Chains A and B, each alone.
Chain A
Amino acid sequence: DTAVSQTPKYLVTQMGNDKSIKCEQNLGHDTMYWYKQDSKKFLKIMFSYNNKELIINETVPNRFSPKSPDKAHLNLHINSLELGDSAVYFCASSPVRTGASGYTFGSGTRLTVV
């Protein structure tokens, strides 16, 4: 069983389209995250939810909207995709909101906007 699973693995889409990435964790963790990894491999947090409550919302364009229907799921919807949105997006979870116990990451979604 995959601990943190995200779909799709690859996503190629045209500029201006709207797309969603889904994430599910079966670890029973309270906190889930979305990270963006750019072409230089820098990993930057975008959002964090703790028990369905938004606790971290970094400076991200409002075209990005996370949704957490329950504490095991955190989805990311992106409107009006731009070329600069091309990156690998990682979902992660942690047993505590501080991240002090470490993060468990999904295998990533490579988004390519053409």
Chain B
Amino acid sequence: TQLLEQSPQFLSIQEGENLTVYCNSSSVFSSLQWYRQEPGEGPVLLVTVVTGGEVKKLKRLTFQFGDARKDSSLHITAAQPGDTGLYLCAGGNTGNQFYFGTGTSLTVIP
């Protein structure tokens, strides 16, 4: 099992604030995925990053893959209540699966 540590574990912020969530590992991954999970639902894929240093934007969400492909970050600008959920990173290598991170639970207060 390849461990991906996410930080912070819990985050509660006011609407309009910015935040960054981190996903770190000692392993190198060929690609990394980010998911958001809302209460009572399964995780939903947000983005996949595959190249070291790659930056992808999805509206107010900015995802970055570390140069060494061992870590990633998710930055949310002007957070909204609809951003509330559990954010999960998942790293893959040449095997048959992706390993999920420990998760960051985000609450955006109106």
A98 and B95 form a contact (CB under 8 A): yes
Contact B42 A107, beta carbon cutoff 8 Å: yes
Alpha-carbon gap, A44 to B37, bound state (A)? 15
- The interface size bin for chain B is 20 to 34
Q: Is the CB of A42 within 8 A of B102?
A: yes
Chain B contact residues: helix, strand, loop or mixed: strand
Q: Which residues from chain A contact B102 at a C-beta distance below 8 Å?
A: 40, 42
Given A98-B92, A102-B48: A43 and B43 interface contact (C-beta under 8 Å): yes
Report yes or no: B96 in contact with A98, Cβ–Cβ below 8 A.
yes
Q: A41-B105, A42-B102, A102-B48 are in contact. Are A56 and B41 (CB under 8 A)?
A: no
Q: How far is the CA of A97 from the CA of B94 in the complex (A)?
A: 11
The answer on a CB contact under 8 Å between B40 and A99 is no
